Structure 1
Amino acid sequence: MNNYRPYSGITPAVKILIIINVIMYLLTLMFDKRTGTNLSNTLGLHLPQSEYWAPYQYITHMFMHGSFTHLFFNMFALFMFGRVLESVWGTNRFLVYYFVTGLGAAALNSAVGWWGYHKMYEQFLAFQNTPEPGLLAEFIRAHISHPAPWVWELIDNWTNNPTSIQYTQAGEELFRRVITETVNIPTIGASGAIFGILLAFGMLFPNTELFLMFIPIPIKAKYFVIGYGVIEFFMGIQNSVGDNVAHFAHLGGMLFGFILLKFWSRNRRKFY
């Protein structure tokens, strides 16, 4: 056990994690502005099908954030709940939990992304067998929230000239381009580990009352965690066009956190 008082101030690992995340965010801004290098694309987590995929991204993506708001809310949750868990568990166990849930989140997100890629590729093969503008339009609506005007112009021109080899080839190239661009979108953020922390807090302190922004009434931690998990699940399976939140990464953090907590709880003497 550590020699600091539980729940008072910031704990060692939480402080270091916050500092690293803030530094990486500032470095991202600096590199993007001064060198034109997209650091988030290099260190963010890509699917194995992407040309940008690298094994180290399973770790580095946890320290990358796309905006100040993204960074702030993740770090705020890490400070509020992570320091309590570190005070109870100690630094070593907290870090193990943090990275297991972060990696678990990446694993589930990659598995869901892999499935999504193969579904898209099956649609592409079907399109190759029967190339026609209606299939292309359906695919575009399902995967792009705001297509450029030239995309609909291409589809309209092809519809008016259904036997045109030129438009058929252009449609196939557009199909490939959408798949490639989708696969090359990186996943970034510490949210998977943060959701693991929220789950652990809800399981260890289920009846602790939380006051949330925009909700002027207290809610017990266990209900907050359950509700948040249900929302993430339904938003994940809904898979709305333009939704750039990695909902299954959040669920992965909670799932692997639950598994790890159950494993630790087999020996109650060492659980806390």
Structure 2
Amino acid sequence: MRFSITDAVKHLIIINVVMFVGKLTLGDGHLFDELFTMYFPTNDLFKPWQVITHMFMHGSPAHLLFNMFALWMFGTPVEERLGTAKFLFIYFSAGFGALLFQLGYYYFDYYSAMQTLGNLNMSTSLLHEIMNINAIDGDMIRGEILQEKMIPLLNDANFSTSISAAQFSALFDLNVLNLSAMVGASGCIMGIMAAFGMMNPNAKLMMIFLPIPVKAKYFIPGLIILDIISAFTGQSFFSPSNTAYMAHVGGAVLGFIVMWYWKKSDKDKYRWN
């Protein structure tokens, strides 16, 4: 089988690899993460450009490898069919859709926690400081560390109101949300996969860990359903537990919407078939 790769796919892969090398080699491995990872907007490390740059960041070699393989496998036929401009439009539209879905999911938890804190009368600045406490121990965020680091902040602010267990739990949830970060091209690639599936509904696809051929029109919706289940239950099927599942869903939805519009539009310039 002849190996082929289209121009936009090739350049996207190069950019992703260069960003990963930079992440590993510059600033003791922290510089690129602090600058280009997408942080929750309340985090002190959040910068506006992260809404784009996080799409080119990856957490591990395996994360990069699987995403770039999927980008090549699905992106090449989509770009060949649609052309570079439309391919890139879907790619970045899906990336922004992924971000919106994941942030919307996070903000639902954010506002739920804020409602619990409604009667605490804590100043915005004090709450911001607590949310930005680094309570990480290894790979875990620990409540006892948060509590220990909160006490000096509360004392400095002369905050004497008693904090209930439910309110501390809400503060902990806000701290976790604030430290959450998004990286990866997965949302973009899910949009490309949705486009591929609409153009090739009967193409046979297989997962590496489940080598059973399934038609694209069943395979891709199946992946999306599993991501939705994982997002709301915490049960991970084929992805790491820290996967931004709703980002996958958002990317696929935006990819589907764009392709559906192009297919159904009466204007020939928007059609892809």
TM-score in terms of structure 2 length: 0.76
Equivalence for 1:102: 95
Instruction: For 1:164-175, list aligned pairs within 5 A.
Output: none
Counting aligned pairs with the same residue, the percent is 35
The structural deviation recorded for 1:217 is: 2.5
8 A Cα contact 2:143 2:172, kept in partner: no
Structure-2 separation of matches of 1:201 and 1:213:
18
Matched, 1:182 2:161: no
User: Distance in 1 between the 2:51 and 2:113 partners?
Assistant: 24
What do you get for the CA RMSD once the two structures are aligned?
A: 3.2
1:112 and 2:119 aligned: no
- How far the C-alpha of 1:230 sits from its partner, in A, is 0.6
- Structure 2 segments unaligned to the other structure (5+ residues): 122-136, 149-158
Answer with 215-224 or 20-29: which moved more: 215-224
* Aligned pair partner of 2:16 in 9, 15, 21: 21
In 2, Cα distance between equivalents of 1:22 and 1:223: 31
Q: CA deviation at 1:49?
A: 2.3
What's the counterpart of residue 271 of structure 1?
272
Cα distance in 2, alignment partners of residues 193 and 98 from structure 1: 5
Is the 2:94–2:251 contact (alpha carbons within 8 Å) kept by the matching residues of 1?
yes
For 1:215 and 1:174, how far apart are their aligned partners in 2?
A: 39
Any stretches of 5+ residues in structure 1 without a counterpart?
1-6, 130-143, 155-164
Q: Please list, as runs of the form range in 1=range in 2, the aligned pairs for 1:128-167 lying within 5 A after superposition.
A: 128=120, 148=142, 150=144
* Cα shift readout 1:140-195 (whole Å, capped 9, x = no counterpart): xxxx99565956998xxxxxxxxxx99x5797778646523431321110010111
Instruction: Name the count of aligned residue pairs.
Output: 239
3-state SS, counterpart of residue 207 of structure 1:
coil
Which range is displaced more, 169-178 or 243-252? 169-178
* Equivalent-residue separation in structure 2 for 1:196 and 1:230 (angstroms): 15
Bigger-Rg structure (1/2): 1
Are 2:222 and 1:224 aligned? no
Q: Provide the C-alpha distance between the structure 1 equivalents of 2:198 and 2:52, rounded to a whole number of angstroms.
A: 26
Q: Aligned to 2:72, which of 76, 79, 86?
A: 79
Structure 2 residue 246 is the aligned partner of structure 1 residue 245: no
In 2, the alpha carbon distance for the partners of 1:216 and 1:184 equals 37
1:198–1:225 Cα contact (<8 Å) kept: yes
C-alpha separation between the residues in 2 aligned to 1:149 and 1:175? 11
In structure 2, which of residues 52, 56, 59 is the aligned counterpart of residue 59 of structure 1? Answer: 52
After superposition, the Cα gap between the structure-2 partners of 1:67 and 1:234, relative to the gap in structure 1 and judged at 3 Å, is same
Counterpart Cα distance in 1 of 2:51 and 2:146 = 37
Question: 2:207 aligns to what?
Answer: 212
Partners of 1:240 and 1:221 lie apart in 2 by 24
Letter in 1 for 2:222: G
